[in-house]
Structure formats: C-alpha cells, structure tokens
C-alpha cells in the first residue's frame, strides 16, 4: 500500500483516482477543446519511479528515459502552435521517438514551411485530417462483424487502418465490411492476434470501487466525484469504496457508443487530484488534461495490475467490442487486465483518459484503449480536480 493510501484510510477517504483500467462506451459526444500545454507542466521533474517504469516497460536506459521525457515536453509545447500554422492543410500529428520531435502531416508545401517555423518537423501527404475523419465517420455508421477489431485514422500512413482478428479475414461478413470501408475512403488493413474486451472483473481484493458484483478502478477526481468507465455501471448504480463503505452513485453512464461515466460521491469521501503510483512510482499529482500526441509515452494506474507505462499508438479509433462499437478511443501498448477498467491514463502530470478495454495481459503484453478525459468532462459539464 502506498503512503498516501495509508494516510487517507485513516481519514476514511481513499483518493478517488486510485485505479486501473476500465472504460465506458456511450453515445458519441463532441470532445471538449484541447487545452494548451501550460508552462508549469513543462517543469515537472522525472521521478526515479517513473524512470524505473519507463526502463522496465519501454526498454530504455535511464538517460534515454530522461531525454525522451524532455523531448516529449517540448513536443507538447509546440503542438498547438504547429497545428494552427498548418491550417486547413493539417493532416495529423505524431511524436517521432527516433528523432525526438513532433511531426505534423500537411497537404501543402507552403504550409509545411510555416509548420517548421513553429518548431515541428513535417511530412507532405495527400489527404487532410478533415477528409480522413469524414471517411472514418462514414465507416462508423456501418455495423461491424466480430471479426473486425477496430479502425482509426493513422496520420503516418495517411489512411484509415482497419484491424481484423487473425484468421477472420476470409469471413464473408468481414470481407463485405472491408469492401464498404474501402468505398468510404483510403483504407489499410492490418491483422491483430485477438478481439478486444473490457477489463471489468468480479469482486476481489485491491484498491478498487465496487458496483454490484463488479470491481473497477477510479479514473480521475472531478469536483463532486470521479470519472470512470461506462461499462462498469449504469445510471443510478450504487458504488462502494475500496474498504466496502458507501461511496456514491453513477450519475451518468454510456456504453457502447462511448465508454465513460461519472460518479457523484458523498458519505465522507472527498476528491484528491492524485493518481496512485502503487509504490512503483510516487503518486502523481494531476495538473491538467492537455492531450499527448501519438508516439509519446504514457502510464496507467489500475487496481489489478497497478502501474505500467507504454506509448500512445493511435487516436480517434473505433473499437468493436462484443457489446458494440465504441468511438473516439485512444490506443496504447500499455497492458491491462480484469479490474483495471475505468482507471487512470496519465502523461506526466496531465490526465489523458480512463481505461476501457483491450487484448492481451501484463505477462505477454497487448494493447489497451482509453476514453479521452476531455470528452467525458465536456459531455457531463464536469471540472477536473487539479493540483
């Protein structure tokens, strides 16, 4: 148990951000505007625990981890200015770990000059982000068979990548879906090992919250409660804390479509702008919610598998769970397991989202998706509790 948990348990109020991955699938809603990276966020030093997690999960040396964090902070700082410089020629961004720079795809060489002047590298491509997003929305309107895992706009490929479960590409329904997708826009097909699933679990020990016989993990404190995954409970569901005491109620929840929810708290519980490090890294203060671009490092806290780190692999992905499709998700190579649903994805001191689901585990690896926290805040009119 962390020192923070010990202190708060004495006060009967474990912080509401403690835990793992889960997600809420809900009707699509417009995401809140992406905030600029604040100057204070760029001053956060790399803790020994965070460096250790990056060494373990990303295979970096200590020096490489520190250099990467510094490069990512620079990328965050120039992202908004570079995207504005691209204007209507904007075609997506990603962080290139090889060069240590943010790359902005554009469809105009003239705009590329303006983007480079803003501090980012560029790549000239054919399709704008607006064109690819429109094509993806056309695909989103189709019913996907279970053999289709997910689809998203890939700015590097300048295509919509559709992932198909290994061994299912010859299914008639999968082929028909791919034919319709190709008519909607430029498509690239990839194969994945297994279909995604959510990460809720039955009641077991740990640092969770409970609803019915399901254990999930808290995402982030908001004023009045916390956000988490929608598949963990429906509106009106009662919630108990990690110690079994009464905690609050699901005030809003949506799944599938989106995967998010918010829980109002009472009964002596209060919110804390912290994500648990589980003794593997110091507990992380939350200072904002600007969005990390593709290619940057990211970490997850959950009640089952605790603290793990990895990389952002894709944004605005549609994930085809057995229960239905969920939109506007972010894919990572951070592992997760049952009970981690709803937990915190954080980059530095910036909240990123709540764990939804994925495939694989923390022994063999895999992919995990999260629902962006800014979308949840915007949907319910919530304010993130920050330090």
Q: Give the β-pairing of 365-372 and 350-361.
A: antiparallel
Cis-peptide, bond into residue 57, ω within 30° of zero: no
Dist. CA 198–CA 323, nearest whole Å: 10
Q: Which helix (H) or strand (E) holds 112?
A: helix 109-117
Q: Give the β-pairing of 324-332 and 344-347.
A: unpaired
Q: Give the other-Cβ count within 10 Å of 365's Cβ.
A: 13
Q: Note whether 340 and 316 are within 8 A (CB).
A: no
Q: Which two tokens stand for residue 382?
A: 């919530």
Dist. CA 334–CA 369, nearest whole Å: 9
Backbone angles phi, psi at 179, to 5 degrees: -60, -45
Q: Note whether 217 and 341 are within 8 A (CB).
A: yes
Q: Which residues are catalytic?
A: 231, 259, 341
Q: Which two tokens stand for residue 379?
A: 């949907």
Q: Which two tokens stand for residue 357?
A: 């689901």
DSSP 8-state code for residue 120: -
- Spell out the residues 6+ positions from residue 167 whose beta carbon is closer than 8 angstroms to its own: none
- From the number of C-beta atoms within 10 Å of its C-beta (0-12, 13-18, 19+), residue 150 rates as buried
Dist. CA 132–CA 155, nearest whole Å: 9
């Amino acid at each position: 148990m962390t020192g923070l948990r010990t202190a708060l348990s004495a006060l009967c109020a474990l912080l509401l951000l403690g835990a793992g991955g889960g997600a809420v699938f809900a009707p699509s809603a417009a995401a809140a505007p992406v905030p600029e990276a604040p100057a204070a966020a760029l001053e956060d030093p790399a803790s020994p625990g965070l460096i250790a997690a990056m060494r373990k999960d990303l295979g970096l040396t200590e020096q490489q981890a520190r250099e990467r964090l510094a490069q990512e902070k620079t990328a965050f700082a120039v992202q908004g200015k570079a995207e504005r410089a691209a204007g209507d020629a904007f075609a997506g961004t990603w962080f290139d770990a090889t060069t240590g720079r943010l790359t902005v795809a554009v469809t105009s060489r003239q705009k590329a000059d303006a983007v480079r002047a803003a501090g980012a590298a560029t790549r000239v491509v054919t399709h704008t982000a607006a064109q690819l997003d429109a094509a993806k929305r056309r695909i989103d309107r189709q019913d996907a068979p279970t053999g289709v895992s997910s689809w998203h706009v890939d700015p590097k490929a300048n295509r919509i990548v559709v992932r198909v479960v290994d061994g299912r590409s010859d299914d008639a329904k999968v082929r028909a879906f791919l034919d319709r997708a190709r008519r909607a826009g430029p498509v690239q097909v990839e194969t994945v090992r297994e279909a995604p699933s959510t990460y809720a679990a039955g009641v077991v020990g740990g640092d969770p919250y409970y609803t019915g016989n399901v254990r999930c993990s808290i995402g982030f404190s908001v004023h009045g409660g916390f956000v988490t995954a929608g598949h963990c409970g429906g509106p009106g569901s009662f919630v108990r804390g990690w110690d079994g005491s009464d905690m609050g109620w699901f005030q809003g929840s949506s799944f599938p479509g989106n995967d998010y929810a918010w829980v109002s708290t009472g009964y002596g519980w209060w919110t804390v702008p912290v994500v648990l490090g589980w003794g593997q890294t110091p507990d992380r203060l939350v200072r904002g919610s600007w969005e990390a671009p593709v290619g940057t490092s990211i970490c997850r806290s959950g009640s089952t598998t605790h603290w793990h780190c990895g990389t952002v692999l894709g944004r605005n992905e549609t994930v085809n769970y057995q229960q239905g499709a969920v939109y506007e998700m972010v894919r990572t190579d951070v592992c997760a397991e049952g009970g981690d649903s709803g937990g915190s994805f954080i980059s530095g001191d910036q909240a990123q989202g709540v764990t939804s689901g994925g495939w694989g585990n923390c022994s063999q690896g895999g992919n995990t998706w999260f629902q962006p926290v800014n979308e949840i805040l915007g949907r319910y009119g919530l304010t993130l509790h920050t330090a």
